[in-house]
């Protein structure tokens, strides 16, 4: 129960853990795809994802004056509601006492992992989870069927987070074993169940099947609800090539993944503590601990916070393990286990976060239950819970500040392009070379659609593409993003032309790195309507240069030389030999001085002999150069380590030589040289 004495603690923890997240006006990750969509396209994407109403909701949010801040407050409300509902449910079911329920709700609300939940693509997770626990609470409080039916629409809506279907099955099993079966057989714990099985196993079996039949009959609506959900989802889902195998179960790895569930849960517990205690500064933790401890003492006046009995504490920890394994089961089976140290993949723990916290609280209570001295036990509980409050709130604050810095970097790129609009008026591709450090939350990877969003944010239209230099280097000629109309439309580049001008945008740290206080000031001014401005050379250094495009010229030169080589072969019966072996495992060539049978004339090669102009030693210094291999019967003639190789491999359909990062000509037998 929230009283006046507890309000200071709640305010302190919520303010410091959530302020930076709630004040950030920026866009991240898939947000950049959604914000530029019209109503019809947003609705279509929602249907393709299997959420028929999702497009309507997202479009409505993006139509607000400040959609980013709106979605953050949306998350704050529903994640906070989910935290309260989780605590109330487990308090109602007598797994925790009242003070522990209060602690559970606060820890859940200020968790420092999966802050990606504040982004548009994950925000609805919070709504689904809140609906699920609201339905569970209604089901738990009411033994009358008609009152329990009120929970049906809330459960149904929560199933759009498909992993909650597995938790729902566990919840029904829990209610069956605890109430109809448990009440009839007077089972209160595992010990009484074991004693009853030893005494009358046949009677237990008969009672089990009888009560199961009654339970399924009286709760048929709840049993059939997942089927109804999937039928409706199948009817309302629009087929999409893009999402055809999204979250598909990898049946080849199914058994192996199943064995990973328990280790994955314990890894999540470990990572939660690692993120919480190592994501802040020592000074910040000490200050936050002192404040948390003082306010916690004020809130509960030194009363017992945790469970006293070891048996109940162990049962709570075990229940947390079972619940957690069910919650992460779907993610593990599709090969996407929760990684709490990742800004993106940490979101997969959200349905199972209560289980992780219950396991932690159960373990802490179990350890303290063996402390005989009551005052030491109680004070130890306050110290440990204060440590958790301090680490959770401070790390959430520091990560929130990192997200702000991340947005500052993005906005600086957009601002630079906007301020140099005349220079970039005919640019189609912006290749971002990010040398900054300390400006990517969690050192996250940034995909092309996020950089593209930065460009559109600066200049509008759908004729520009932004891409990180590392991703650009891995592009090839068959890239769906460039050639497939549906991908181009989805990622806001429907009018993009690859052959348009390319530039590299290089961004690096400036002379001043924004401290926590600076970020706080910037965020405060932002809330007051004053946009921050990146002073040149203060936070960032940004410049640009053109991407080289020499492959048409170089291929023209090489094509002329191939004609000379063919003429040479007609006259002498073989190609000019190179000075070294053509390739590992091929015919070894003896060094023969010049070339045999005679070198090409100086006139044929523009004034240079072939062996002088084309060397056969690979250029390990990664500088551009010519490469010629021949064993007499086959040859390879390439321009290696070409400065425009990344561009050429997207623009060209043949003549690419990935082995030497260049392009040229060769005979069939020399393809792999």
- Inter-residue contact 221 to 27 (CB < 8 Å): no
Residue ending a domain, among 495, 516, 547, is 547
Domain that holds residue 526: 421-547
Residue ending a domain, among 338, 367, 398, is 398
Task: Tell me the two tokens of residue 539.
Answer: 């936070």
Residue ending a domain, among 331, 363, 398, is 398
From CA 37, how far away is CA 59, in angstroms rounded? Answer: 8
From CA 75, how far away is CA 77, in angstroms rounded? Answer: 5
Same domain, 502 and 599: no
Task: Tell me the two tokens of residue 391.
Answer: 């680490």
Say if 46 falls within a structural domain. Answer: yes
pTM of the shown model: 0.84
pLDDT digits 0-9 by tens, 84-139: 999 999 999 889 999 999 999 999 999 999 899 998 889 999 999 999 999 999 98
From CA 364, how far away is CA 381, in angstroms rounded? Answer: 8
Q: How many domains does the chain have?
A: 3
Same domain, 245 and 159: yes
Task: Tell me the two tokens of residue 667.
Answer: 């005979």
Nearest 5°: phi and psi at 543? Answer: -150, 175
A 10 A CB-CB count for 581 gives 16
Average pLDDT, the chain: 83
pLDDT of residue 33: 86
427 Cβ contact partners less than 8 Å away, ≥ 6 residues apart: 464, 500, 501, 502, 503
Task: Using pLDDT thresholds of 50, 70 and 90, give the confidence band for residue 601.
Answer: very low
Q: How many residues does the chain have?
A: 673
pLDDT digits 0-9 by tens, 504-528: 999 999 888 999 999 999 999 888 8
Same domain, 518 and 466: yes
Cα 409-410-416 angle, rounded to 5 deg: 90
Same domain, 252 and 158: yes
From CA 122, how far away is CA 497, in angstroms rounded? Answer: 32
Same domain, 22 and 70: yes
Query: Half-sphere exposure of 301 toward its Cβ, with a 13 Å CA cutoff?
Result: 3
DSSP 3-state percent helix, strand, coil across the chain (nearest 5): 60, 5, 35
Same domain, 507 and 578: no
Same domain, 292 and 363: yes
pLDDT digits 0-9 by tens, 152-171: 999 999 999 999 999 999 99
Strand order across the 662-666 sheet: 625-630, 635-640, 662-666, 656-657
Same domain, 161 and 218: yes
- Inter-residue contact 514 to 539 (CB < 8 Å): yes
Cα 18-19-25 angle, rounded to 5 deg: 105
- Inter-residue contact 497 to 427 (CB < 8 Å): no
pLDDT digits 0-9 by tens, 535-582: 545 889 999 888 877 778 888 888 877 887 887 788 777 787 665 433
Higher-scoring residue by pLDDT: 82, 533: 82
Task: Show the 3-state SS of 240-299.
Answer: CCCCCCCCCCCHHHHHHHHCCHHHHHHHHHHHHHHHHHHCCCHHHHHHHHHHHHHHHHHH
Same domain, 114 and 177: yes
Helices (H), 1-66: 7-23, 31-34, 39-48, 54-62
Same domain, 138 and 213: yes
């Amino acid at each position: 129960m929230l009283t006046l004495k507890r309000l200071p603690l709640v305010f302190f923890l919520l303010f410091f853990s959530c302020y930076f997240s709630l004040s950030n006006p920026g866009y991240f990750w898939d947000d950049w795809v959604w914000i530029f969509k019209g109503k019809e396209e947003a609705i279509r994407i929602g249907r393709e994802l299997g959420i028929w109403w999702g497009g309507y909701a997202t479009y409505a949010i993006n139509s607000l004056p400040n959609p980013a801040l709106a979605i953050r407050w949306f998350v704050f409300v529903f994640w906070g509601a989910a935290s309260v509902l989780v605590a109330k449910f487990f308090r109602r079911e007598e797994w925790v006492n009242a003070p522990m329920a209060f602690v559970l709700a606060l820890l859940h609300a200020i968790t420092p992992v999966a802050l990606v939940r504040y982004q548009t693509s994950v925000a609805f997770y919070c709504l689904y989870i809140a609906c699920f626990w609201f339905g569970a609470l209604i089901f738990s409080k009411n033994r009358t069927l008609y009152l329990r039916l009120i929970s049906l629409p809330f459960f149904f809506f929560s199933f759009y987070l498909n992993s909650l279907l597995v938790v729902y099955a566990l919840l029904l099993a829990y209610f069956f074993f605890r109430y109809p079966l448990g009440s009839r057989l007077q089972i209160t714990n595992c010990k009484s169940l074991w004693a009853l099985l030893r005494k009358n196993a046949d009677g237990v079996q008969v009672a089990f099947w009888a009560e199961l039949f009654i339970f399924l009959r009286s709760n048929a609506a709840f049993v059939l609800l997942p089927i109804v959900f999937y039928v409706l989802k199948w009817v309302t889902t629009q087929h999409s090539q893009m999402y055809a195998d999204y979250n598909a179960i990898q049946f080849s790895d199914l058994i192996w993944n199943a064995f990973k569930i328990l280790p994955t849960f314990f890894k999540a517990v470990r990572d939660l503590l690692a993120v919480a205690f190592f994501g802040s500064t020592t000074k910040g933790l000490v200050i936050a601990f002192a404040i948390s401890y003082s306010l916690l003492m004020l809130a509960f006046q030194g009363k017992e916070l945790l469970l006293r009995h070891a048996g109940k504490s162990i049962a709570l920890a075990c229940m947390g393990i079972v619940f957690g394994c069910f919650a992460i089961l779907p993610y593990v089976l599709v090969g996407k286990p929760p990684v709490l140290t990742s800004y993106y993949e940490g979101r997969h723990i959200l349905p199972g976060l209560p289980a992780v916290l219950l396991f932690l609280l159960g373990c802490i209570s179990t350890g303290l239950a063996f402390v005989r001295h009551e005052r030491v036990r109680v004070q130890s509980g306050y110290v440990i819970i204060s440590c958790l409050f301090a680490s959770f709130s401070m790390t959430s604050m520091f990560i929130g500040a990192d997200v702000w810095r991340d947005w500052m970097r993005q906005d600086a790129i957009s601002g630079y392009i906007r301020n140099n609009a005349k220079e970039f008026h005919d640019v189609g591709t912006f290749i971002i070379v990010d040398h900054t450090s300390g400006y990517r939350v969690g050192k996250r990877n940034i995909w092309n659609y996020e950089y593209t969003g930065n460009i559109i944010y600066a200049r509008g239209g759908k004729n520009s593409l932004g891409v990180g230099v590392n991703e650009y280097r891995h592009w090839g000629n068959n890239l769906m993003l460039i050639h497939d109309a549906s991908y181009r439309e989805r990622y806001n580049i429907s009018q993009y032309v690859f052959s348009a001008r390319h530039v590299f945008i290089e961004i690096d740290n400036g002379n001043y790195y924004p401290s926590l206080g600076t970020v706080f000031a910037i965020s405060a001014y932002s809330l007051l309507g004053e946009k921050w401005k990146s002073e040149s050379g203060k936070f960032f250094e940004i410049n640009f240069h053109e991407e080289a495009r020499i492959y048409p010229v170089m291929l023209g030169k090489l094509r002329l030389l191939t004609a000379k080589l063919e003429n040479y072969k007609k006259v002498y019966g073989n190609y000019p030999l190179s000075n070294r072996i053509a390739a590992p495992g091929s015919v070894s060539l003896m060094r023969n001085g010049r070339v045999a049978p005679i070198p090409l004339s100086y006139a044929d090669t523009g004034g240079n002999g072939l062996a002088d102009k084309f060397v056969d030693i690979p250029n390990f210094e990664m500088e551009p150069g010519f490469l010629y291999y021949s064993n007499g019967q086959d040859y390879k003639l390439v321009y290696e380590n070409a400065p425009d190789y990344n561009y050429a491999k997207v623009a060209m359909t043949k003549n690419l030589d990935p082995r030497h990062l260049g392009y040229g000509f060769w005979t069939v037998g020399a393809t792999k040289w």
